[in-house]
């Protein structure tokens, strides 16, 4: 009886310490089919303005898979903040089309769309006036 309890205890402890595999998300397609989206955000001033056009850092850029999600600002597929050069880069994207939302704390929100064929780098420019 003692031996049976000892064996069951060891078995129980071993089964409790065993790692449970966790499913990690992966891209469903071939690596060569993945897309990159590069969004550049620019502030353009009027011609008579003393200020010069400039790239905008610190703009929150989100990618959505539907217009409805973009309108509700929920369920985004990717989010980046523009760097000092005004660029937000989204790597290894799976989908063929994205709805884009750029949000600046002072200048407001701009929306755009971008088609993303497989295996391409897609450039999008968003302008604030």
Give per-residue pLDDT as tens, 31-60: 778 999 999 999 998 888 888 889 999 999
Name every residue whose Cβ is closer than 8 Å to that of residue 8 and which is 6 or more positions away in sequence.
none
- Write down the domain spans for the chain: 56-129
**What's the pTM?**
0.74
Identify the pLDDT of residue 28.
53
Q: Give the CA radius of gyration of the chain.
A: 24
Helix (H, G, I), strand (E, B) or coil at 71: helix
Mean pLDDT of 121-126: 98
Please tell me the distance from the alpha carbon of residue 112 to that of residue 101, in angstroms, as a whole number: 7
């Amino acid at each position: 009886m003692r031996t049976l309890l000892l064996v069951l205890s060891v078995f129980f402890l071993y089964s409790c310490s065993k790692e449970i595999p966790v499913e990690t998300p992966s891209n469903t397609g071939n690596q060569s089919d993945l897309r990159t989206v590069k969004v550049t955000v620019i502030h353009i001033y009027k011609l008579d303005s003393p200020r010069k056009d400039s790239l905008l850092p610190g703009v929150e850029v989100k990618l959505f898979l539907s217009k409805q999600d973009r309108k509700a600002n929920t369920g985004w597929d990717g989010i980046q903040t523009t760097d000092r050069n005004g660029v937000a880069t989204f790597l290894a994207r799976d989908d063929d089309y994205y709805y884009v939302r750029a949000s600046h704390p002072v200048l407001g929100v701009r929306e755009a769309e971008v088609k993303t064929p497989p295996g391409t780098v897609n450039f999008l420019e968003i302008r604030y006036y």
